Every structure is written in C-alpha cells, then in structure tokens.
Structure 1
Amino acid sequence: MTFSESLEKSLYLTVEDGHKSLRFDSHSIQSAMSLDDPYSLALGYSQTMMGFLLFNPAPKHVLIVGLGGGSLPKYCYRYLPDCKVSTLEISENVIALRDEFLIPRDNERFTIIQTDAVDYITQGLAEADVIMLDAYDEEGLPAVLATESYYDHCRMALSEQGVLVINLWGTDPQLNIYIERLKRVFNGRVWFCRAFHSYNVIVFASNDENFKINWIKLLFLASRLESQHHVDLQGIVRRLRAGLPY
C-alpha cells in the first residue's frame, strides 16, 4: 500500500466545539479550523511552526509539504501579503476537501500542487525562502520524508537566508536521529522546542551560514512581529532558548 492509498482510506471530518477537524482516527487530529475564525491557527503545533518568522521575517516564497486542512497555507496567504504560498500534496482526496476548510482558489500567490514531495524536491523543482514539512499518515512520519538525503535536498532548495521548519512527534523513537541528521546537513544551525499545547517538537534549521542567535534581539524582533501576527512569538523564543531534553 502506498502512502497516498493509506492516507485516503483513513481520513474523515468531525465538527465539534466550534471546530472542523480532519482526523486519522478518534484520538488524533490532523488539522483543525475554527468556524468563527477560519484563517487562524487553531492548533499549538501550527502556531509554533510560524516561529520561522524569527529567522526570516519577510519571506517571498513559502513552500509547505502536506496540505491537511490548509491551516498553515491559509495563514501565510492572509498574514504575509507579499509572499507566494505553494503547497505540495500527494492525495487527490485531501485536495478535494479544500472547500470544506475554506482554502482559497489557486491564483498568482497561492498554489496547491498535487505531487509526491520527495520527487518534487529531490528533482530540484523547488525554490523557497521557507520550507515547512508537515506531512503525516496514520502510522506517523513517512520514512522517506526524514532521510538525511531528503533534508539535504530541502537545504539546496532554500535561499541563502532560508529556513526549514519541521513538525515532529515528540514521542517518536527516532526523534534524536532526525535532529542529528538535520544538524549534520545544516552544520549545527538547528534549534527546536516543544510546541504549544502538545507533545509535538518543532525544529528550525537555518540555511544562513552567518546566522547566529542573539536571544535579546530575537525577543525584540518577536515583540515587533506580534503586532502583525496572532502568534506568541516571544513564547517561542523562550521555548527555543530553554531547549528540549532529549
């Protein structure tokens, strides 16, 4: 069974407590949308992934791997008005749900591409300032999306000041291995923290060879950016500074 076949057999929608959710099973939520504020980020992990703004506050192109309910693409489209947003999604069935989650039609700034993200990125078709990896099936993170080779191809697809952002399950026994792979690929320029309100771990890897973190300056930047974004960026700075025992 392929990744896409497994995904298509397991997805279903629920509506409860003011949210519409895309689920693999009754225990886990793949994506969620507030019915009162469809463009907001309803889940803590997606809020934390927006921490890439601390590394690149004004990207011109964000590439997202994994559409789900479209929370991250929609947020970037609305709150980064000068940015192009492209999303890679392997499943026709997931894309077919775009109206359920009020995902915009394709236009000059917003595109959903049905493709295998591994092929797309390793074939050199991607160029972006930010790449966000958030593609899961009911078994977890597909192994092909976490190899050192794949991370290296993502790095090559990034601009010089680009950022790779990855959503990882904090209970994944391979978590340490993934982080060490990223450190090798990005020459140690890797920071990670626990996501808000979840066990997910969000990892940020900078492609900027000259990037060094000054925590005080980063807090000032976070404070300034919070006037434009509905995200606790100062909280993300504090979480990144504290690190994560692993």
Structure 2
Amino acid sequence: MSFPIDIREQAGVRTLHFGSDWIQGAMRIARPWRLELDYTREMMASLLLRDAARFPRNVLLIGLGAASLTKFIYRHYPLTELTVVEIEPRVVAAARQFFKLPEDASRLNIVIADGSQYIANHDKTYDLILVDGFDANARPGELNRLPFYRMCRARLNNNGILVVNLLGRSRGYQSSLERIKTSFDQRALAFPSCDSGNVIAIATTGEKIEIALNELKKQAHELKAKTDLNLLPTLVRLEQAKSCAGGILTI
C-alpha cells in the first residue's frame, strides 16, 4: 500500500488519517482508553447482549486503526484474549507510537495479514468478531462480501456475535446488511445511523437474543459504572427507530 499515514491533533484529540481528511481513528490524549468516536462506542453495544460474566473471552478484531476498540477491551476485560488482524504494518507502528497500543503478547496478538484471508486460513473460533477495516478510500473490499461474512459465521462460537462498521454511503448500506443477514439466517440488524454516518450491524449465533429495552438500559447503567462507556444514547435511538417491537430487542 502506498497511502500516507497522517497524525493530527486538535482540541486535545489525536486523529489518524490515510492521506485524507477522513478520520480512521481518534484518541483523546488525556484519556487514551476512552472510546472517542461515536461509532466505536456503538460497536461495543454488543457487550450488552450476552452474559457479562462470561462474554467475551476470545475476541477477533479485523482492522486496527487507532486501536480504540482494542485498548477498550484490553483495559476493561482483563480475562479476554484479543487477536487483531491489520493488513498494513505502518498502521500498527503508528498505533504503538501515537495511540498507546499496549504490548502484551500474553493477551494481545497482533497479526499483519489480510483480514479475509486470515479468517479463511485459521480455524480458531471467537465469542466476538469486530470488523472495522477500510482502505484509504473508505472501501472495505473483501470484508464486505458474502464469502467473508459466511466465514465469520463459521468462526464464531455458539452464542457468538459479529459486529460490522458499515459506512452509510450515498448508495446506502442495505446491500451489505442483506449479505450479513443471508450469512446468519436473517439474525442481524443495523443500528440507526449515528451522527458520523456510520451504521453498525450486529449478527448473532446460538440462543436467540430477546432482551427487554428496560433490561438493556439497566445493563447499560452497569457498564457505564464499570467502564465509563455510556450506551444510553444508542438505546434511545433504537427505541426511537422502533427497532424494539413491544419494547424487546430481538436478534
């Protein structure tokens, strides 16, 4: 890859760019473990959907960026093993130099590889797979194709969850969501688009998820007390978008 990697700072926030104004990741310098961007917080809504005492133990992240998701899970879930697949070694170097990516081989395995090829060639399974990979032109390439989503399904443990960052481009995200639904027996939904234009899709395996919105809010309060992550705005938007028929989120 030939794109430049730019690091910028403004108002106490350091951002990662691939040769354009498009933000590939961000970190508040005074609070490096915080999830600064809306869509990264939204991706962590998956933590509300399974038993917090056991979930997640094994996480695969495809796309490192500024390491925001990696650092959040590493800090707040000390029993969790993380594998991060990043295609561009310079991104890993930038994350270590500028974004406080931890070096801990016992819990954090950084792999330089193409995410779609990695998941096809390795048979380890995970509780949670987070996909947030784009090139310099904000294109996901193979990470947004049916074979990749089917492979993700095969690499999830029972009761596993896939979370994908889909950009709400002008042509929309519906075709991407349909590919995910096809791969997961229709057990997928997209959260209402957040202010940045990102749309987060979640797909599940195993036991059907049926959680009352009030219970989700209770869990969100507990998660905020534990990690300072506030998912209540996400739940409000879910409610407003009528994504919870009868007050119950079903996936």
2:37 alignment partner, one of 34, 37, 43 = 43
Aligned-residue offset at 1:225: 2.1
Say if 1:195 and 1:202, in contact at 8 Å, map to a contact too: yes
Contact 1:120 1:126 (8 Å CA) reproduced: no
After alignment, is 175-184 or 189-198 more displaced? 189-198
| Cα root mean square deviation, aligned | 1.9
Using the aligned pairs only, state the percent identity: 31
Equivalenced residue count is 239
| Deviation beyond 4 Å, 4+ runs, structure 1 | none
Q: Aligned equivalents of 2:87 and 2:242: distance in 1?
A: 32
Give the letter aligned to residue 11 of structure 2: D
* TM-score, normalization by structure 2: 0.88
Segments of structure 2 that go 5 or more residues without pairing to the other structure are 244-251
Residue 9 (structure 1) aligned with residue 3 (structure 2): yes
The Cα shift of 1:84 comes to: 1.1
Asked if 2 retains the 8 angstrom alpha-carbon contact of 1:65 and 1:132, the reply is: yes
Q: Structure 2 matches for 1:3-152, cutoff 5 A?
A: 5=1, 8-56=2-50, 57=52, 58-97=55-94, 98-152=96-150
Alpha-carbon distance, 1:168 to partner: 1.0
Once residues 182 and 241 of structure 1 are traced to their aligned partners in structure 2, the CA distance between those partners, rounded to angstroms, is 23
Call closer, same or farther: CA 1:154–1:13 in 2, change over 3 Å.
Answer: same
Give the structure-1-normalised TM-score: 0.90
Of structures 1 and 2, the one with the larger relative CO (CA 8 A, separation 6+) is 1
- 1:96 partner SS: helix
Q: Distance in 1 between matches of 2:206 and 2:238?
A: 18
Shifted more, 75-84 versus 170-179: the winner is: 170-179
Match of 2:246 in 1: none
Q: Distance in 1 between matches of 2:213 and 2:181?
A: 20
